[in-house]
Amino acid sequence: MAARGPLRYALILLAAIVPACAAALPADFVYLRDIDPTIIQDIRYAGSNNFVGRPLPGYEAAECIVTRDVALRLKAAQSGLRPRGLSLKMLDCYRPVRAIAEMLAWSQDGVETTAGRRYNPRIAKQDLFRLGYIAVRSGHSTGAALDLTLVELAADNSAVFDPAKDYADCTAPVALRAPEGSVDMGTGYDCSDVKAHTAAQDLTPEQRRWRNELVAVMARQGFVNYAGEWWHFSLPGTGATTYVFPIRPRR
């Protein structure tokens, strides 16, 4: 059967720009680690701890790549957090277009998985794009959108994700969810649920405080939060060009 709708659009877009792929980063892109190595990174689509349950195409290394302007703004945010015993933690940065095409194909394959239900407890996977939880054209592919959280450096953040463990879904209490090594924002990262909306009501005072803190920290550097996801921020007025170059290890 021929691809239709959003899937057809994604495949056409991917086919059109693949020939432009190059090994080197485009001139305005940098590895965040080269600008500020103190910012913690946990690039989730480079591993299995995500809603697809496997690394996505284009994520050949767990590295945050962003535009230089974004990187410098993140460095400034981090400089204000470190003296307070806090750190930014990057969960996704630049996202190759090919990874979005894979997300779309996964959403339409008709197979519900354990990983998928952990992240999408009340929504069928085929509805994620229609409801706006995943976008066919993502600001991540321009290098100007980010997914991130906050970490208390003095806390015990040693727990690691065990793919064999039966974790509760992303809306459950933090002790039952898959570990993220971060403060408790009320849901896990990439949670497709109304509780993940930044201004959701079903939160404890501490969870609300952490969300407000993250929004304020990023706003001071010019970033705008997407109301449907407490973790997602973008920098207005940046370029609209999307890219497909792979995320490769730093040289």
Q: Which residue ranges make up the annotated binding site for Zn(2+)? A: 140, 147, 232
DSSP string, 33-102: HHH-TTSEE--GGGSS-SSSSSPPTTB-S---EEEHHHHHHHHHHHHHHGGGTEEEEEEE----HHHHHH
Binding residues: 140, 147, 232
- 29 with 143: CB under 8 angstroms? yes
Q: CA-to-CA distance for 71 and 223, rounded, in angstroms? A: 12
Neighbours of 207 (CB within 10 A): 19
Q: CA-to-CA distance for 44 and 103, rounded, in angstroms? A: 13
Judge whether 112 counts as a catalytic residue: no
Q: Which of 63, 102, 180, 229 is catalytic?
A: 229
Give me the residues paired with residue 145 across strands: 234
Q: CA-to-CA distance for 95 and 98, rounded, in angstroms? A: 8
Q: Which residues are catalytic?
A: 229
